[in-house]
Homo-oligomer: A and B are copies of this chain.
């Protein structure tokens, strides 16, 4: 079967197309999935540049997020049948409850093979059904980005209907969060340096937009947009320069879900600011299979179509990575496998 491999630190030029043998036989609880589409995350760039939590010493098949069809099942499989449309879960063993070093140890594409390949073998517990109204490209955007958004918004973020969430930028997680929060009755404020992207965000349901280039004190603008009260939740994706402003935008007792760090992976935290806000910062590490299933229920109920910004052919995987790296995307970048 065709696939790609990459070693951590080799950079995007290290992404090499390969031909792989398919595994001959399945263990009792395994299934074989024919991948139709995969979706890239900022994590995939970090892995290629060698800056991710987990490194790959040897070349591995990259990418965590994919969607496909089950083409074979092991003798003991009860959760799926051949022909089912499925997405792998980001963590292979975190089913429900709290994350632990054990249930979060195994992921796709970091430390072990991922989904940028014609076929993958998965344990039946590590897959969820695709909502009926989604195609494979849309479904491929869910495992990391949308589950992260779900956890950040509704689990750790405890966002309630009618509350206000502030989203930083228009990348994958932010746009998924925009669609989810909007469907859940929340008020959404989103920032970008591009008025064109902000216009697109409005069409997806954003209630208010802030161009952080023309309004660098965006936290003050966010406060104004909530009548001075402050926002209930911020999804912190920016990095070095943003945490102070995120806390500045917060209502007393509000929360910041810490997801990314596009502009750097550390920030100064002023204790007095956190204490005066009675604020809560939580590190978001994607989510459990249970969260994915809960997410899918909302995606189905609200008939959300995740935003696929651009789709690349299998042979153009490196171009897809480069497009993501350019930062010009709005929503998700997808690679067609089949």
Q: Mark A residues whose CB is within 8 Å of B.
A: 53, 95-101, 104, 154, 156, 160-163, 180, 183-187, 207, 239, 243, 252-253, 258-261, 265-285, 288, 290, 294-302
Contact = CB atoms under 8 A, between A and B. Distances in A.
Given A97-B95, A283-B277, A285-B278, A180 B154 contact: no
Nearest to A260: B271
A243 B156 CA distance: 21
The 6 A-B residue pairs with the shortest CB-CB distance in the complex, in nearest-first order: A96-B97, A162-B298, A162-B297, A274-B283, A161-B184, A97-B97
B279 A283 contact: yes
A18 B104 CA distance: 44
A297 to B, nearest CB: 4
Contact of A301 (B156, B186, B288): B186
Contact of A284 (B161, B275, B296): B275
Contact of A290 (B97, B156, B239): B97
Contact of A162 (B104, B161, B275, B294): B294
A299 B96 CA distance: 25
A283 B294 contact: no
A300 to B, nearest CB: 7
Given A161-B161, A274-B283, 12 more contacts: A97-B290, A99-B252, A154-B160, A162-B294, A162-B297, A239-B271, A259-B275, A261-B271, A265-B271, A268-B268, A274-B281, A281-B281
Contact of A283 (B99, B183, B278, B284): B278
A112 to B, nearest CB: 16
Nearest to A239: B271
A261 B268 CA distance: 14
Contacts of A275: 258-259, 283-285
A154 B261 CA distance: 31
A322 to B, nearest CB: 24
Contact of A161 (B96, B180, B259, B277): B180
A154 B186 CA distance: 13
Contacts of A154: 160-161
Nearest to A53: B276
A297 B163 contact: yes
Contacts of A180: 161
A279 B282 contact: yes
A281 B280 contact: yes
B271 A268 contact: no
B267 A269 contact: yes
5 contacts: A95-B97, A97-B97, A163-B294, A187-B297, A281-B282
B252 A271 contact: no
Given A99-B253, A252-B100, A258 B274 contact: yes
Contacts of A268: 266-269
Nearest to A183: B185
Contacts of A259: 275
Nearest to A159: B161
